[in-house]
Structure 1
Amino acid sequence: MQPQEGSGVQYSRWNNSAQDEVSVNTSTQGTAWNRFYTTLCTGRIGIAVKVLGGITLFWIIFIIGYVTGYYIHKCK
Protein backbone atom coordinates (compact mmCIF):
# COMPACT_ATOMS: atom_id res chain seq x y z
CA MET A 1 0.00 0.00 0.00
CA GLN A 2 1.48 3.37 -1.02
CA PRO A 3 1.43 6.31 1.42
CA GLN A 4 -0.76 9.20 0.38
CA GLU A 5 0.54 12.73 -0.01
CA GLY A 6 -0.63 15.42 2.41
CA SER A 7 -1.52 15.34 6.04
CA GLY A 8 -4.24 13.42 7.77
CA VAL A 9 -5.01 10.04 9.26
CA GLN A 10 -4.74 6.92 7.19
CA TYR A 11 -6.39 3.68 8.28
CA SER A 12 -5.61 0.42 6.60
CA ARG A 13 -6.72 -3.10 7.47
CA TRP A 14 -4.89 -6.10 6.12
CA ASN A 15 -6.78 -9.33 5.54
CA ASN A 16 -3.98 -11.64 6.63
CA SER A 17 -3.13 -9.79 9.82
CA ALA A 18 -4.88 -9.67 13.14
CA GLN A 19 -3.73 -6.12 13.71
CA ASP A 20 -5.03 -2.91 12.24
CA GLU A 21 -2.63 -0.24 11.13
CA VAL A 22 -3.30 3.44 11.80
CA SER A 23 -0.74 6.01 10.73
CA VAL A 24 -0.89 9.75 11.34
CA ASN A 25 1.00 12.01 8.98
CA THR A 26 1.93 15.29 10.66
CA SER A 27 3.49 17.02 7.72
CA THR A 28 4.74 20.53 8.48
CA GLN A 29 4.49 21.50 4.84
CA GLY A 30 1.49 23.57 3.97
CA THR A 31 0.37 26.59 2.14
CA ALA A 32 2.22 29.86 2.41
CA TRP A 33 -0.57 31.25 4.58
CA ASN A 34 -0.24 28.36 7.05
CA ARG A 35 3.52 28.92 7.35
CA PHE A 36 2.96 32.69 7.75
CA TYR A 37 0.32 32.10 10.44
CA THR A 38 2.45 29.55 12.28
CA THR A 39 5.46 31.86 12.30
CA LEU A 40 3.77 35.10 13.31
CA CYS A 41 0.81 34.01 15.43
CA THR A 42 2.18 31.32 17.73
CA GLY A 43 4.89 31.13 20.34
CA ARG A 44 6.95 34.03 21.60
CA ILE A 45 6.96 35.81 18.26
CA GLY A 46 3.16 35.56 18.16
CA ILE A 47 2.86 37.14 21.60
CA ALA A 48 5.22 39.96 20.59
CA VAL A 49 3.27 40.59 17.37
CA LYS A 50 -0.02 40.73 19.28
CA VAL A 51 1.38 43.11 21.90
CA LEU A 52 2.88 45.43 19.27
CA GLY A 53 -0.37 45.32 17.29
CA GLY A 54 -2.37 46.24 20.38
CA ILE A 55 -0.05 49.14 21.24
CA THR A 56 -0.17 50.38 17.64
CA LEU A 57 -3.96 50.16 17.56
CA PHE A 58 -4.17 52.06 20.86
CA TRP A 59 -2.03 54.92 19.55
CA ILE A 60 -3.93 55.12 16.25
CA ILE A 61 -7.26 55.38 18.11
CA PHE A 62 -5.75 57.88 20.56
CA ILE A 63 -4.46 60.16 17.79
CA ILE A 64 -7.76 60.00 15.88
CA GLY A 65 -9.64 60.88 19.08
CA TYR A 66 -7.25 63.71 19.90
CA VAL A 67 -7.52 65.28 16.45
CA THR A 68 -11.29 64.85 16.38
CA GLY A 69 -11.63 66.36 19.87
CA TYR A 70 -9.41 69.27 18.91
CA TYR A 71 -11.58 70.23 15.95
CA ILE A 72 -14.87 69.65 17.77
CA HIS A 73 -13.95 71.71 20.85
CA LYS A 74 -11.92 74.38 19.06
CA CYS A 75 -12.89 77.91 20.09
CA LYS A 76 -14.32 80.06 17.33
Structure 2
Amino acid sequence: MEPNNAGTVQYDRWNEDNINMNVEASQTTTMRIYNRLCTGSTGVAVRAVVALAALVIIYILGYVTGYNVHRCA
Protein backbone atom coordinates (compact mmCIF):
# COMPACT_ATOMS: atom_id res chain seq x y z
CA MET A 1 0.00 0.00 0.00
CA GLU A 2 1.12 3.53 -0.75
CA PRO A 3 1.14 6.31 1.82
CA ASN A 4 -1.67 8.88 1.61
CA ASN A 5 0.62 11.72 0.45
CA ALA A 6 2.32 9.78 -2.39
CA GLY A 7 0.29 11.60 -5.06
CA THR A 8 0.89 15.12 -3.76
CA VAL A 9 3.65 17.45 -4.86
CA GLN A 10 5.61 19.55 -2.43
CA TYR A 11 5.99 23.21 -3.46
CA ASP A 12 7.89 24.35 -0.40
CA ARG A 13 11.00 25.17 -2.42
CA TRP A 14 9.05 27.77 -4.47
CA ASN A 15 8.14 29.76 -1.38
CA GLU A 16 11.62 31.13 -0.84
CA ASP A 17 12.00 34.89 -0.45
CA ASN A 18 15.10 35.22 -2.64
CA ILE A 19 13.37 34.57 -5.98
CA ASN A 20 13.64 37.63 -8.22
CA MET A 21 10.65 37.92 -10.52
CA ASN A 22 11.61 41.37 -11.84
CA VAL A 23 12.86 40.49 -15.34
CA GLU A 24 13.32 44.11 -16.49
CA ALA A 25 15.72 44.93 -13.66
CA SER A 26 17.87 41.87 -14.35
CA GLN A 27 18.39 42.63 -18.06
CA THR A 28 21.54 44.26 -19.32
CA THR A 29 21.48 47.71 -20.87
CA THR A 30 22.18 46.24 -24.31
CA MET A 31 19.20 43.89 -24.07
CA ARG A 32 16.91 46.73 -22.96
CA ILE A 33 17.99 48.85 -25.94
CA TYR A 34 17.54 45.87 -28.28
CA ASN A 35 14.06 45.13 -26.90
CA ARG A 36 13.02 48.76 -27.27
CA LEU A 37 14.39 49.37 -30.79
CA CYS A 38 14.15 46.00 -32.52
CA THR A 39 10.76 44.61 -31.52
CA GLY A 40 7.20 45.66 -32.19
CA SER A 41 6.12 48.62 -34.29
CA THR A 42 9.15 50.66 -33.23
CA GLY A 43 11.38 47.89 -34.57
CA VAL A 44 9.63 47.97 -37.94
CA ALA A 45 10.09 51.75 -38.15
CA VAL A 46 13.78 51.51 -37.19
CA ARG A 47 14.39 48.83 -39.82
CA ALA A 48 12.65 50.91 -42.49
CA VAL A 49 14.76 53.98 -41.65
CA VAL A 50 17.98 51.94 -41.67
CA ALA A 51 17.07 50.38 -45.04
CA LEU A 52 16.30 53.80 -46.54
CA ALA A 53 19.57 55.23 -45.21
CA ALA A 54 21.50 52.27 -46.67
CA LEU A 55 19.89 52.83 -50.08
CA VAL A 56 20.77 56.54 -50.01
CA ILE A 57 24.39 55.79 -49.07
CA ILE A 58 24.69 53.22 -51.87
CA TYR A 59 23.20 55.73 -54.33
CA ILE A 60 25.68 58.43 -53.29
CA LEU A 61 28.64 56.04 -53.51
CA GLY A 62 27.53 54.92 -56.96
CA TYR A 63 27.10 58.52 -58.12
CA VAL A 64 30.56 59.56 -56.88
CA THR A 65 32.18 56.43 -58.33
CA GLY A 66 30.48 56.89 -61.70
CA TYR A 67 31.45 60.56 -61.77
CA ASN A 68 35.11 59.74 -61.14
CA VAL A 69 35.19 56.86 -63.64
CA HIS A 70 33.56 58.80 -66.49
CA ARG A 71 35.20 62.15 -65.85
CA CYS A 72 36.80 63.65 -68.96
CA ALA A 73 40.53 64.15 -68.64
Q: Does the TM-score normalized on the shorter chain lie above 0.5?
A: yes
Structure with the larger RCO, 1 or 2 (CA within 8 Å, 6+ apart) = 1
What is residue 51 of structure 2 aligned with on the other side? 54
TM-score, normalized by length of structure 1? 0.67
Note if 1:66 corresponds to 2:63: yes
- 1:32 aligned partner: 29
**Most deviating of 27-36 and 62-71:** 27-36
Q: Which runs of 4+ in 1 moved over 6 A?
A: none
* Pair member with larger Rg: 2
User: Normalising by the residue count of structure 2, what TM-score does the alignment of the two structures yield?
Assistant: 0.69
Give the partner amino acid of 1:52: V
What RMSD over aligned residues (CA atoms) do the two structures have, in Å?
Answer: 2.3
Q: Which has the higher strand share?
A: 1
Query: CA separation of 1:17/1:58 partners in 2, compared to 1, >3 Å: closer, same or farther?
Result: same
5+ long unaligned stretches in structure 2:
1-5, 15-20
**Structure 1 residue 28 displacement after superposition:** 2.5
Name the % identity.
36
Structure 1 gap ranges (5+): 1-15
Q: How many Å apart are 1:19 and its aligned residue?
A: 1.4
